[in-house]
């Protein structure tokens, strides 16, 4: 059969199309022979190799995949080069990868079986799923809390009003006057908890972020407010603030509430130790590595680190839940962080946390930059 030049041209262009399609795939793909030697690979495979080795784009052929891709001296655990699939967290630091092996047609020259290995990075997908289910749980809890709070609001307002009337009408010499004052104080505290719960459920939905807020000013205002508790707990504060004004679009009082709660938590966690240090930094971040509404201008990332008692791994996922608290009864409601979480979400941002028991805790607030 005679092969025409036009046929060759057609096959060449088809091959080019296929190769560019395979190169366009973000997941690393590689074809191996039975000795783990690389026969072909896509660009993403090479990009991942080039994190460890300085090899040219066409320089991977015949190298052992485990040496260049996994930086190992022997095949990876689980990998026996037969059709199979597994997930691993050991291939790359902080990445969960699904590895799938398919066997394909024999190599036409050697008649040996070949294998396609497909690596799929699952980390982002898993984190997104976790944060979605976390957000669902929080919003369900928030709805429940708001229902209870709504019901409590009117009787509480009545208790408070009647107690105040009774206090006014009771003589100072009356032994019951002090009891009434105690009732008023208790009712006030309940009212403030109920208000927090209503806030949590966004009963103030009509209040939307509405002005450019300078985060430096927010931090400075709160630090001024906390001067006394900081001094009392022998806690020092180190600031690392940018020269420019870090503006976000928001509501100053709500952002102040978030910082107030986080710094109060930090002080509380160091109070028992008798001293400690808080570091507050505000930095620009273009890729915050989290699922957050896209911001063309980038993000301001606020880190609040303390050297306090830290949080156990098992408890870390609970701290944003309403009413989760480790404070003694009467000292905390466990609403601070859940309110902060929803407020920052309203500001199109995100709060993350890292903690090491007995070492300290870092909260990271990410907010979209507002360019004036
Ligand atoms: N910086 C921190 N260090 C150690 N533990 C913390 C820190 N911040 C929060 N936590 C833990 O998370 C829990 C929940 O915090 P959150 O602010 O929601 O409530 P709270 O401080 O207990 O009460 P509230 O803020 O309503 O007065 C705390 O009780 C504590 O166990
Ligand atoms: Mg708190």
Tens-digit pLDDT profile for residues 164-185: 999 999 999 999 999 999 999 9
The whole-angstrom separation of Cα 100 and Cα 86 is 7
Ligand 1 centroid vs 340 CA: distance in angstroms? 11
Angle between helices 252-271 and 215-225 (to 10 degrees): 50
pLDDT, position 267: 96
Ligand 2 centroid vs 292 CA: distance in angstroms? 24
Mutational test site, ligand 1, from 334, 344, 354, max ligand atoms within 8 Å of CB: 334
Nearest CA to ligand 1 atom 13: 325
pLDDT, position 204: 47
Residues within 5 Å of ion ligand 2, judged at the Cβ atom: 261, 265, 336
- Ligand 1 atom with least separation from CA of 266: 1
Closest CA to 196 of 254, 115, 126, 247: 254
Q: Which residues does 368 contact at the CB level (< 8 Å), separation at least 6?
A: 248, 249, 292, 293, 295, 297, 298, 299, 300, 348, 349
Domains of the chain: 18-121 (3.30.450.20), 123-206 (1.10.287.130), 207-372 (3.30.565.10)
Contact 367, 300 (CB under 8 A): yes
In sequence order, what are the beta bridge partners of 367? 300
Q: How far is CA 216 from CA 179, 213, 222, in A?
A: 44, 9, 10
pTM: 0.58
C-beta 295 within 6 A of ligand 1: no
In sequence order, what are the beta bridge partners of 214? 247
C-beta 323 within 6 A of ligand 1: no
Give pLDDT tens digits along the chain (372 positions).
676 778 888 888 888 888 888 888 889 999 999 999 999 999 999 998 888 888 999 999 999 999 999 888 999 887 888 889 888 888 887 788 889 999 887 656 666 789 999 999 887 777 776 666 666 666 667 677 777 887 888 888 899 999 999 999 999 999 999 999 999 999 988 888 887 777 666 544 456 788 999 999 999 999 998 998 899 999 999 999 999 999 999 999 889 989 999 999 999 999 988 899 999 999 998 877 766 777 888 999 999 999 999 999 889 989 998 788 999 877 888 888 988 988 898 899 999 999 999 999 999 999 999 988
The whole-angstrom separation of Cα 270 and Cα 164 is 38
């Amino acid at each position: 059969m005679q092969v025409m030049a036009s046929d060759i041209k057609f096959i060449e262009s088809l091959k080019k199309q296929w190769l560019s399609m395979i190169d366009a795939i973000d997941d690393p793909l590689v074809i191996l022979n039975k000795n783990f030697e690389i026969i072909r690979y896509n660009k993403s495979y090479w990009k991942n190799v080039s994190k460890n080795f300085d090899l040219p784009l066409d320089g991977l052929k015949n190298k052992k995949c485990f040496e260049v891709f996994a930086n190992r001296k022997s095949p990876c655990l689980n990998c026996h080069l037969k059709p199979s699939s597994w997930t691993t967290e050991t291939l790359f630091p902080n990445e969960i990868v699904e590895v799938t092996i398919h066997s394909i047609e024999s190599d036409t020259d050697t008649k040996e079986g070949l294998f396609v290995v497909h690596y799929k990075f699952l980390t982002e997908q898993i984190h997104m799923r976790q944060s979605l289910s976390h957000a669902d749980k929080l919003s369900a809890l928030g709805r429940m809390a708001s229902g209870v709070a709504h019901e409590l609001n009117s009787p509480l307002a009545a208790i408070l009003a009647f107690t105040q009337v009774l206090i006014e009408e009771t003589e100072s010499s009356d032994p019951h006057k002090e009891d009434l004052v105690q009732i008023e104080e208790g009712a006030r505290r309940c009212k403030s908890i109920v208000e927090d719960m209503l806030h949590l459920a966004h009963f103030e939905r009509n209040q939307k972020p509405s002005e450019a807020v300078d985060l430096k000013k927010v931090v400075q205002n709160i630090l001024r407010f906390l001067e006394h508790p900081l001094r009392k707990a022998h806690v020092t504060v180190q600031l690392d603030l940018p020269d420019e004004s870090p503006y976000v679009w928001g509501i100053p009082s709500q952002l102040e509430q978030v910082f107030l709660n986080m710094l109060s938590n930090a002080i509380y966690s160091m109070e028992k130790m008798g001293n400690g240090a808080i570091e507050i930094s505000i930095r620009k971040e273009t890729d915050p590595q989290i699922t957050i509404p896209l911001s063309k201008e980038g993000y301001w990332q606020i880190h609040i680190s303390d050297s306090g008692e830290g949080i156990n791994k098992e408890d870390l996922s609970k701290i944003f839940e309403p009413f989760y608290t480790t404070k003694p009864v009467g000292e905390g409601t466990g609403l601070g962080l859940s309110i902060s979480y929803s407020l920052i979400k309203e500001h199109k941002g995100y709060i993350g946390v890292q903690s090491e028991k007995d070492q300290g805790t870092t909260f990271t607030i990410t907010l979209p930059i507002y360019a004036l």
